[in-house]
Structure 1
């Protein structure tokens, strides 16, 4: 058994929200929009297809032929704009299982990915992709089980314009919650977010704003569909989360600003880190113990 088959590794390829923001002031945290890869038991699970997906795709070219699972939170541009530039999807022999919740207007994830590649928005259609693409629709609240890998995902509706869905990934007693894009409620904690985050090893949470920005009398962000790092900490504390990852950084927040946010957040919830492109988090997966002599022989 390879080392990767016993690992739960989270890799960050895009951590910005709304729009890519490359430049000298975003070098340390990165300017690509959301894309997270989880290597769970040797399998590739990819969450969202922002511009970070293009970068991930280049690294996967050395692993052909490839099978992976793509899970979309929703289809706002910053979460799908990297998909047409995902090189492995154009290569025959690769297989991608693509999951997305049905939109409020009834559109499937296949329809939405197809539509962004139609003229006059893009030069080639989705059908030009040479890999095998299989699409799976679900409703927020459904369970998704990758049975042959013993990986179980829970889903829940998030508070975001046009709807979004959050995920919880469970494997061998470890769990990671991916909760973006979502806006907190003014008078209570979101029960769906608490459910996904409960006792998780890692919570990746949309904290685009600070409380001051969110409630600004001049440029209020109420109703924009995103949360704050202060609210992220409330969720992490209430849900008994081990590690909190601040995610979906505002494109106006440069590296120095994010340093300050990280320092302030860690003072309140010490096990808080800021998401950065290229960052990896390894979860402490228990190594399965052989039950008898035959199992010992097989593991040698």
Structure 2
């Protein structure tokens, strides 16, 4: 197991929304669906289990035995489809604490992860997984305490419901806010609560305002936001660093480059989420990050 202690780092393993889109036009930003790993204190937290979770799983094989806390925003396919391919979950000796809010139809996170692995959808049932899986249902607004790490959540504006998370540790905070649609007449109070003066706000900016409001192919009601609204939310909440996340599968690398330039004009301390990149809020004290990860130092 890794010896890193007393750190606060964010690692991006999947940053794309809706459907995985590997190919020559998505090489720089990546085509895997959402998975964000946060190392905080001596704990490993994983947010969402899109196809990026498979990639993380391969990296974790060299660090076993592994214990991690997995938080799901919701169970749309792009956020859970990597779970059946998460190799460490099949290996005895590993331990995963799984958290998720109960769906509007009453289904628990265990039921939803189990159902996607049943025939005829998948050949191997969840029960084959050899790791210890500890499933936990959380209420909207409930705080989860993991030692000195505090994980808060709030309801987001998304079809079928989604929750955003705020990870607090020693005066620092990261807000993970994806699959949410802004309101046309006001800022979302829940988004503001999660992001208030956070060191990092990771925000669902799937569209541009032009795409969102297009008369012919508008995205109103689809459950996602825009980079322009991300900037508004970040400024209002007083966040230090804004991360544009959940990229539309139709947005290739060049398109995202242009979006990144526009975002920086409005919010200079911002970045576009890229697979393989990391943000260091509090550096690890006992080991360095992997050479394969790109570090972005965030001022406290």
Gaps of 5+ in 2: 286-300
The Cα of 1:43 is off from its aligned counterpart by 1.4
3-state SS in 2 of match to 1:8: strand
Is the aligned partner of 1:280 residue 2:272? Answer: no
Q: 2:137 matched to 1:143?
A: no
Query: 1:186 pairs with 184, 193, 209, which one?
Result: 184
CA apart distance, 1:49: 0.1
How large is the Cα RMSD of the aligned pairs? 1.2
Structure 1 contact 12–36 (Cα < 8 Å) conserved = yes
Query: How does 1:2-81 map onto structure 2 within 5 Å?
Result: 4-81=4-81
**Bigger CA radius of gyration:** 1
TM superposition outliers: structure 1 runs of 4+ over 4 Å: none
Q: Tell me if structure 2 keeps the 8 A contact 1:89–1:96.
A: yes
For structure 1, which runs of at least 5 residues remain unmatched after alignment? 288-300
Q: What is the CA-CA distance between 1:3 and the residue it aligns to?
A: 7.1
Pairwise mapping of residues 77-92 of structure 1 onto structure 2 (< 5 A)?
77-92=77-92
Tell me how far 1:139 sits from its aligned partner: 1.4
Native 8 Å contact 2:4 2:284 kept in 1: no
Instruction: Give deviations 1:139-166, integer Å, cap 9, x for gaps.
Output: 111111112xx10011000000000000
Question: Alpha-carbon deviations, 1:210-255, whole Å to 9, x = none?
Answer: 0000000000100000000000000000000000000000000000
**8 Å Cα contact 1:35/1:46 also seen in 2:** yes
What's the TM-score once normalised by structure 2's chain length?
0.93
Contact 2:8/2:284, CA 8 A, preserved across alignment = no
Deviation at 1:41, TM superposition (A): 1.3
Q: Does structure 1 residue 125 correspond to structure 2 residue 146?
A: no
The answer to which of 116-125 and 37-46 deviates more is: 37-46
- Could you report, residue by residue, the CA deviation over 1:39-93 in whole angstroms, capped at 9, with x for unpaired residues? 1113110000000000000000011111000000000000000000000000001
Q: CA deviation at 1:284?
A: 3.5
- Asked if 1 retains the 8 angstrom alpha-carbon contact of 2:101 and 2:109, the reply is yes
Write 1 or 2 for the structure with the bigger share of helix: 1
Counterpart contact for 2:201–2:242, Cα < 8 Å: yes
